[in-house]
Amino acid sequence: MDVILYTDGSARGNPNGPGGYGAVLQFIDANGQLHEREYSQGYIKTTNNRMELMAAIVGLEALIKPCNVKLYSDSQYLCNAFNQHWIEGWIKKGWKRGKNEPVKNRDLWERLLAAKAPHNVEFLWVKGHAGNPGNERCDMLATAAADGDGKITDEGLDQA
* pLDDT of the residue at 131: 85
Does pTM top 0.75 for this prediction? yes
Which of 20, 22, 59, 74 is catalytic? The answer is: 74
In the residue annotation, 122 being an active-site residue is answered as no
Give me the phi and psi of 39, to 5 degrees please: -135, 140
In the residue annotation, 8 being an active-site residue is answered as yes
Mean pLDDT for the stretch of residues 3-17: 93
Rounded Cα distance, 41 and 14, in Å: 17
Which of 19, 22, 134, 139 is catalytic? The answer is: 139
Q: Is 8 annotated as a binding residue?
A: yes
Q: Is 136 annotated as a binding residue?
A: no
Q: Is 147 annotated as a binding residue?
A: no
pLDDT over 80 (residue 159) = no
Read off the amino acid at residue 100: N
In the residue annotation, 74 being an active-site residue is answered as yes
Give the side-chain half-sphere CA count within 13 A for 97: 11
In the residue annotation, 36 being an active-site residue is answered as no
Which of 98, 129, 149, 158 is catalytic? The answer is: 129
| pLDDT tens digits for range 12-65 | 988 889 999 999 999 999 999 999 999 999 999 999 999 999 999 999 999 999
Rounded Cα distance, 131 and 75, in Å: 16
| pLDDT tens digits for range 90-148 | 999 999 988 889 999 999 999 999 999 999 999 999 998 888 899 999 999 999 999 99
Structural domains in the chain? Answer: 2-154 (3.30.420.10)
- Write the CB contacts of 84 (distance below 8 Å, at least 6 apart in sequence): none
Which of 19, 22, 42, 52 is catalytic? The answer is: 52
